[in-house]
């Protein structure tokens, strides 16, 4: 039997601006995770190790409930509703599952994409139920047939992460692919266009503070459940 989550979430700031101004925290009644009140963790390596352990400790049932909760929250935002070209990701290693919101986007006629590693950056390939997949060198499925779309022509990019803070800073797996792909460089300024970067994750992935590096691309908003 499917479970429809009861939501009671708070919204801090607008989610449609060009700078980080929103943190959606879902308080689903069945999620009893409490944010850590420990001292800020200074080492990025320590953060990755600690948060990945927390993430993997979640059971299958909690992961599925979180996926449905996330889909409901994201689908309520105006940025999702007005976006036609949306990039998702294939969840691995305890990352929050975005397949529920992906299926909803299909049903609504939106064009969905998955990332493909191309050198040191990402390409985005149209993904459909009939897409042929293969595993990249990290063991993550990627589509091998489908239309390529420039990252700069996406409307919304739903990004995975290992950890985040309330200032929109994100720690990923360490490859730097999203940062290099969406760097605010001369190309971005010339085109005067950038997709909306929406980070998604579990509440247990929040830390008090992440020191932003010069190459880090901050999120525009974050949804945590």
- Tell me, what's the pLDDT at 16? 42
Q: What is the pLDDT of residues 173-201, one digit of tens each?
A: 766 788 888 886 534 444 556 799 999 98
Q: What is the pLDDT of residue 99?
A: 95
More confident residue, 204 or 77: 77
Main-chain dihedrals φ then ψ at residue 112, nearest 5 degrees: -110, 145
For residue 43, is pLDDT > 90? no
d(CA 70, CA 206): 16
Q: What pLDDT score does 154 carry?
A: 95
* Bridge-based pairing state of the strands 148-149 and 141-143: unpaired
Full-model pTM: 0.77
Query: Does pLDDT of 22 surpass 60?
Result: no
Query: Which among 90-94, 112-116, 140-144, 215-219 has the top mean pLDDT?
Result: 112-116
Q: What are the strands, taking DSSP E only, across the chain?
A: 9-11, 23-26, 85-87, 111-118, 121-126, 133-135, 141-143, 148-149, 156-159, 163-164, 170-171, 196-201, 221-224
Most confident region among 39-43, 77-81, 140-144 by mean pLDDT: 77-81
All structural domains of the chain, each given as residue ranges with its CATH number in brackets, are 19-224 (3.40.50.10420)
pLDDT value at 97 more than 80: yes
């Amino acid at each position: 039997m499917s479970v429809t989550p009861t939501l009671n979430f708070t919204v801090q700031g607008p989610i449609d601006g060009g700078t980080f101004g929103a943190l959606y925290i879902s308080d689903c009644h069945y999620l009893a995770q409490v944010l850590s009140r420990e001292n800020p963790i200074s080492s990025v390596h320590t953060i990755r190790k600690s948060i990945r352990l927390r993430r993997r400790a979640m059971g299958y049932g909690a992961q599925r409930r979180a996926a449905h909760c996330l889909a409901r929250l994201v689908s309520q935002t105006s940025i999702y509703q007005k976006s036609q070209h949306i990039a998702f990701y294939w969840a691995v290693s305890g990352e929050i599952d975005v397949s529920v919101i992906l299926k909803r986007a299909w049903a609504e006629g939106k064009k969905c994409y998955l990332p493909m590693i191309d050198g040191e950056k990402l390409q985005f390939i149209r993904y459909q139920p009939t897409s042929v997949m293969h595993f990249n060198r990290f063991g993550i499925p990627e589509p091998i047939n489908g239309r390529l779309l420039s990252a700069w022509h996406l409307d919304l990019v739903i990004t995975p992460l290992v950890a985040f803070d309330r200032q929109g800073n994100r720690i990923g797996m360490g490859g730097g692919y999203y940062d290099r792909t969406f760097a605010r460089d001369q190309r971005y300024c010339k085109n005067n266009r950038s997709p909306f970067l929406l980070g998604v994750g579990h509440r247990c992935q929040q830390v008090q503070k992440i020191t932003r590096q010069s190459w880090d691309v901050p999120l525009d908003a974050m949804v945590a459940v």
